[in-house]
Amino acid sequence: MIEPYGPACTCGTRGCLETLASGPALARAGTALLGRSVTVAEMVEIPECRPLFTRAGQDLGLAAANMISALHPELIVYGGGLSALGDRLLGPIETTIANRVRMFPPTGIRLERSAHGALALAALSLSEAPINDYSYLDVAKMIDHSLVNPTLTTTDLEQGILLAKAYDVASVCILPYALKRCAMMLHGSQVKASTTIGFPHGGHTTAIKLAETKQALADGGQELDMVVNISKVLSGDWNYVAADIRAVVDETHTARQKVKVIFENAYLNDEQKIRLCEICSEIGADWVKTSTGYAPTGATHADLILLRKHAAPHIQVKAAGGVRDLDALLAVRALGVTRCGATRTGAMLDDACTRLGLPPVVFSRAEVVGY
């Protein structure tokens, strides 16, 4: 799906490639543009139709880029009637892929057309692409090391803090009662202390969320992950939702610290997610975040693309739930994600060191939570 609110398709979705970039879709667009019935083959010779081919190529490139980020395939083939378009389609596809897939350079891309078979977007040849187009800190500073599991003991929490400090991640997101100790242990490092507000269900009153915020800031919190009132979102009470978010954001920004707003996308439809992006953009939250990690599903690529598209450019995107290895982290990075909640931090960053040819991080791994 390319356009969530695009034309309806017989497949049951809206705005898929069949409705936007297939041969029949191009013919319909050409007919509407010219005011007469026209085929794709005829459109090739009509200068006015060139923008239609460019737009179709961009849509195909976007779909390909999303698959590349998720699957890292080896070849993209397009064929059937579209193969006759040649560079009219190939150029926009290549340009869109190069712009969207930031983690891999465009050199070495295999994008081929065939006169046989239907359109099949399958892969880029990434096996020989360099893997060191990111630095250790590029990936380490994406990670919020998560220590919010209620079964963690005091020893577990302190081991997790030490791990995060050793690996020099972005932050430690810890159970609220342990935040003050966490801030003390991280003092002097480049790792921020963070905690949760209204976690995990978001149903606290605004007054309670505000009290939690004030306590967290007093305890040394530098980044706060707040959960929206999911019930009010589902009820469509947007004034309440906005006021709830604004109370936490304003209090935190007054203290010159930052807020991530958790949507819990597993329970929401796209329209609700988009409205939350708009509210967070208007209020000036620092991140929009997919999930708590305690719902039926976590961060999906479709949701991350949606949030990045509809949040204002200055609002960052955080993925939570389901990013469990370095490849998954790099994939969401390619979608525009700047932060990711993780419990397997050590394993992910050890893998980064190996791939980058760096010495391993020196840290005792005995009984370390999240490793």
Q: Tell me which residues are annotated as active site.
A: 225, 289, 318
Per-residue b/e over 94-122, b at no fewer than 16 CB within 10 Å?
A: bebbbebbbbbeeeebebebeeeeebebb
* Cα–Cα distance for residue pair 156/6, rounded to 1 Å: 49
The token pair at 339 is 């932060």
- The strand pair at 316-319 and 339-342 is best described as parallel
Question: ω into residue 200 within 30 of 0, thus cis?
Answer: yes
The token pair at 168 is 């020099």
CB of 168 within 8 A of CB of 137? yes
Cβ neighbours around 236 below 10 Å, total: 12
CB of 233 within 8 A of CB of 272? yes
Beta strand ranges found along the chain (DSSP E): 76-78, 111-113, 143-147, 171-174, 192-197, 223-227, 258-262, 287-289, 316-319, 339-342
Sign of CA dihedral 192, 188, 164, 211: negative
HSE (CB half, 13 Å, CA atoms) of 192?
Answer: 21
Beta strand ranges found along 89-245 (DSSP E): 111-113, 143-147, 171-174, 192-197, 223-227
> Scanning the structure block, which residue is given the tokens 């699957």?
71
